[in-house]
């Protein structure tokens, strides 16, 4: 029974990590879409770019014709800003759907873990009473 509980805890942890990764990726695409929309609205040539967690640098946008967008892992594609915004919004919708699935899976796994833990507690009480 203890092994089953440990396995279920590991599954819950993995689903939580997957959810966190999806959330981070969604945030990334939201930032890119926001930057592109703000640029197209104001046509500013100087922008602040997030290089890493909370680290920004000044950048100049030479042309609003094209930007590079991360497709997956380390694969990037160059596309017009309007197309980049459309891609980001579609990707965000897909990621949000995957996050919704991960939340459901997490709830199911947590319910199963709770049942296992209640069963183990009942078995332990029976052993003590006998």
| Confidence at 93, pLDDT banded by 50, 70, 90 | very high
User: How high is the pLDDT of residue 91?
Assistant: 96
User: How high is the pLDDT of residue 42?
Assistant: 74
Assign a CATH topology to domain 2-34+67-121: Helix Hairpins (1.10.287)
CB 29 within 8 A of CB 119: no
Answer left, alpha or beta for residue 73, where phi above 0 means left and psi between -120 and 50 means alpha: left
Measured between alpha carbons, how far apart are the two ends of the chain, in Å?
A: 19
Report the range of poorest mean pLDDT among 26-40, 43-57, 88-102: 43-57
User: How high is the pLDDT of residue 130?
Assistant: 74
User: How high is the pLDDT of residue 35?
Assistant: 86
Q: Give the start-to-end residue ranges of the domains of the chain.
A: 2-34+67-121
Q: Chain-wide mean pLDDT for the chain? A: 88
What is the rounded average pLDDT of the residues 48-68? 75
Instruction: Please give the Cα distance from 7 to 70 (Å, whole number).
Output: 35
- Statement: residue 59 has pLDDT above 80: no
């Amino acid at each position: 029974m203890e092994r089953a509980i440990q396995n279920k805890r590991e599954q819950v942890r993995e689903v939580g990590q997957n959810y966190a990764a999806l959330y981070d990726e969604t945030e990334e695409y939201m930032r890119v879409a926001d930057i592109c929309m703000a640029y197209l609205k104001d046509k500013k040539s100087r922008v602040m770019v997030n290089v890493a967690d909370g680290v920004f640098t000044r950048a100049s946008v030479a042309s609003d014709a094209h930007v590079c967008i991360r497709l997956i892992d380390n694969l990037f594609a160059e596309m017009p800003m309007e197309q980049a915004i459309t891609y980001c919004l579609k990707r965000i919708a897909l990621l949000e759907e995957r996050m919704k699935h991960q939340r459901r899976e997490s709830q199911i796994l947590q319910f199963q873990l709770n049942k296992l833990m209640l069963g183990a507690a009942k078995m332990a009480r029976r052993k003590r009473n006998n």
